[in-house]
Amino acid sequence: MTSITKKREAQLARIDRDAVYSADEAIRLVKEMATAKFDETVEIAMNLGVDPRHADQMVRGVVSLPSGTGKEMRVAVFAKDAKADEAKEAGADIVGAEDLMKAMEEGDLNYDRVIATPDMMGVVGRLGKTLGPKGLMPNPKLGTVTMDVAQAVKDAKGGQVEFRAEKAGIVHSSIGKASFSEEDLRKNYDAFVGAILKARPSGAKGRYIHKISVSSTMSPAVKVDISEVGA
Q: What's the Cα-to-Cα distance from 140 to each of 48, 61, 144, 148, 165, rounded to whole Å?
A: 24, 11, 6, 12, 18
pLDDT at 94: 97
- Give the pLDDT confidence score for residue 2 in this predicted structure: 46
Closest CA relative to residue 72, chosen from 191, 146, 207, 174: 174
Indicate the length of the chain as a whole number. 231
Per-residue confidence (pLDDT) for residue 122, from 0 to 100: 96
DSSP code per residue over 128-193: HHHHGGGT----GGGT-B-S-HHHHHHHHHTTEEEEE--TTSEEEEEEEETTS-HHHHHHHHHHHH
Q: Where a domain ends, among 97, 124, 157? A: 157
pLDDT for the residue 132: 92
Domain count, the chain: 2
Domain hosting 225: range is 16-69+160-229
CATH of the domain at 122: 3.40.50.790
What local confidence, expressed as pLDDT, does residue 10 receive?
63
Print pLDDT tens along the chain (231 aa): 445 566 556 665 667 777 999 999 999 999 999 999 999 999 999 999 999 999 999 999 999 999 999 999 999 999 999 999 999 999 999 999 999 999 999 999 999 999 999 999 999 999 999 999 998 999 998 999 999 999 999 999 998 999 999 989 999 999 999 999 999 999 999 999 999 999 999 999 999 999 999 999 999 999 999 998 865
64 lies in the same domain as 82? no
Q: Is residue 23 part of a domain?
A: yes
Q: Give pLDDT, residue 7.
A: 59
Predicted confidence at residue 67, as pLDDT, reads 95
Q: Is residue 6 part of a domain?
A: no
Tell me, what CATH number does 26's domain have? 3.30.190.20
> Do 80 and 153 share a domain, yes or no?
yes
55 with 164, same domain: the answer is yes
